[in-house]
Amino acid sequence: MTTLQPYFAPDTIEARSFEIIDSEVPEPRPFTGHLWEIARRLIHTSADFDLLNHLTIHPAAVAAGLAALRSGCTVFTDTEMARSGIPLRRMEPLGCRVQCLLNRPDVVAAAKANGTTRAHAAMDAVRAELGGSIMAIGNAPTALIRLMEHLDAGGEAPALVIGMPVGFVNAAESKELLVGQSVVPFIAIRGRKGGSPLAAATVNALAEIALRG
């Protein structure tokens, strides 16, 4: 019979989870400092230690993300799931807002008029709003591909792109486009893995660091 751990109060469960993750990834770890805080939260969200083999963080990504959050940026997400996974208790003290693009009326109308996906239309609709923002993509490779086309054409760049679309059709390929460019700092999970919860977790990790000052 399995022996259960003693009861943990709700506000200690996360800390205990981090302790377990730290113990199961002994030093020297593949990431240190703030990078490890991001990696650890991704593992905490997914219980998937293999993410450490796929996580790629641009050298300027953390500094860019923290500066954007501390300046009260907008965080754009490609799904409502990602938006709802970034709590206001982290965003409001920083003066930030989180906006899901897919349900914006202009995006819905443009997708219908042009016969494209909402993810594609969303990147077109938000072009003028990208400067200083954080773009968190956890579901739609189409969104990331369209964003890369926009950047390749010399369009305004976000402060940080979190590229973690999940799946089998163009997910891995879209992230390789992100990793291979030199315009914008990024945090990516290469390959097929990813998802909205992981994109949200990345924003949450950065916000926790930013809130510490």
Residue 3 in this model has a pLDDT that exceeds 80: no
| Interval 35-92: pLDDT, tens | 999 999 999 999 999 999 999 999 999 999 999 999 999 999 999 999 999 999 999 9
With a CB cutoff of 8 Å and minimum separation 6, the contacts of 22 are 40
3-class secondary-structure state, position 72: coil
Looking at per-residue confidence, does 51 or 2 come out higher?
51
Structure tokens, 47: 């219980």
With a CB cutoff of 8 Å and minimum separation 6, the contacts of 10 are none
How does residue 2 score in pLDDT terms, banded at 50, 70 and 90? Answer: low
Any idea which fold 32-211 has? Answer: Rossmann fold (3.40.50)
Count of C-beta atoms within a 10 Å radius of residue 103? 13
How does residue 6 score in pLDDT terms, banded at 50, 70 and 90? Answer: low
Over range 167-182, report the average pLDDT.
96
Structure tokens, 203: 């924003």
CB 16 within 8 A of CB 40: no
Mind telling me the catalytic residues?
44
At residue 31, what is the residue type?
Answer: F
pTM of the entire predicted model: 0.93
Residue 1 in this model has a pLDDT that exceeds 60: no
